[in-house]
Amino acid sequence: MKCVFCNAATEEKMTDYKEVGTHLGRFKAEVCTKCGEIFFDSETAAKIQARSKELGLFGLAKRAKVAEVGNSIAIRVPKRLAEFVGLKKGQEVLITPEEKNRLSIEV
Ligand SMILES: [Zn+2]
């Protein structure tokens, strides 16, 4: 196939796949020989999603609203996500701006 981003040829390779820092396995993929973009067919994508669900990783990303608390703002972290990263009430975290529109919270 051709890469949808740069139009170069792709080649079939077994590729390691990680989600939220967890190795899900090696999967068959088409990898662009120029830009390195990885494409999975729908069957492989379904396998990856099933593995992600099995490991409790699927759907951890959630939308949240920003609330105002006194002079600060607060963002509620969904319980499942908090448990996944080991975040507890009263714990101190390090909040770092990663980019203009991205924060990182180190637990
Ligand atoms: Zn490409």
The rounded Å distance from CA 1 to ligand 1 centre is 11
Percentage with pLDDT > 70 across the chain: 100
Q: Where are the domains of the chain?
A: 10-54, 66-106
> Exposed, middle or buried by CB within 10 Å (0-12, 13-18, 19+), for 31?
middle
**HEC string of 40-91?**
CCHHHHHHHHHHHHHCCCCCCCCCCCEEEECCEEEECCCHHHHHHHCCCCCC
Cβ-based neighbour number of residue 74 at 10 Å: 12
> What does pTM read for this prediction?
0.69
Is 77 within 8 Å of 87 (Cβ atoms)? Answer: yes
Q: Ligand 1: distance of its center to the CA of 40 in Å?
A: 14
Inform me whether the pLDDT recorded for 61 exceeds 90: no
Residue 93 has pLDDT above 90, yes or no: yes
